[in-house]
Amino acid sequence: MKNLLIYSLILFSLFYVACKDSKPSPNVQSITISEIGKLKIDNKDLMILDVRTPKEIANGKIDGDALELDFYSDRFEDGLNKMDKSRTYLVYCKSGGRSSQAIQIMNKMGFTDLYNLEGGYTAWARNN
């Protein structure tokens, strides 16, 4: 019985130390075009991040205030480092591939609230 109590205390101590220093789990989700409006309403600090090339952006944007950061640029990660990691980001590209990769990078860098637009600009343009 005494050994069980000692093992329980050790186990509790290990869990306490492990959980105490852990980072909050990131919120990474995919959303559809129809969910953008609700996301904007629910997240007043929402930043829309367009990771397409300048040539692609010249054909139109989802939001005029969207931050532009070319995924293929050598300065992509430098640009991410300048951004507020505590804000909520909706990331999009042409079809969803680069934005998914960008979100993986952002997640590793400590961004905590990320949304990927399914189908990207192509899906948005088809519906607008």
Domain ranges in the chain are: 24-127
Which residue from 115, 97, 95 is spatially nearest to 106, judged by alpha carbons?
Answer: 115
pLDDT recorded at residue 5: 46
Of 36, 69, 91, 93, the catalytic one is 93
Residue 93 annotated in active site: yes
Distance CA 67, CA 77 (A): 14
Who's near 33: CB < 8 A, 6+ residues apart? Answer: 117, 118, 119, 123, 124, 127
**Residue linked to tokens 């804000």:** 87
Write the CATH number of the domain with boundaries 24-127.
3.40.250.10
- For 74, the 3-state DSSP assignment is coil
The vertex-47 CA angle with 61 and 113, nearest 5°, equals 125
For the chain, the farthest-separated pair of C-alpha atoms sits apart, in whole angstroms, at: 72
pLDDT recorded at residue 27: 80
pLDDT recorded at residue 128: 86
Tens place of pLDDT for every residue, the chain, 128 residues? Answer: 555 444 444 444 434 444 444 444 568 899 999 999 999 999 999 999 999 999 999 999 999 899 999 999 999 999 999 999 999 999 999 999 999 999 999 999 999 999 999 999 999 999 98
Question: Can you give the pTM of this predicted structure?
Answer: 0.79
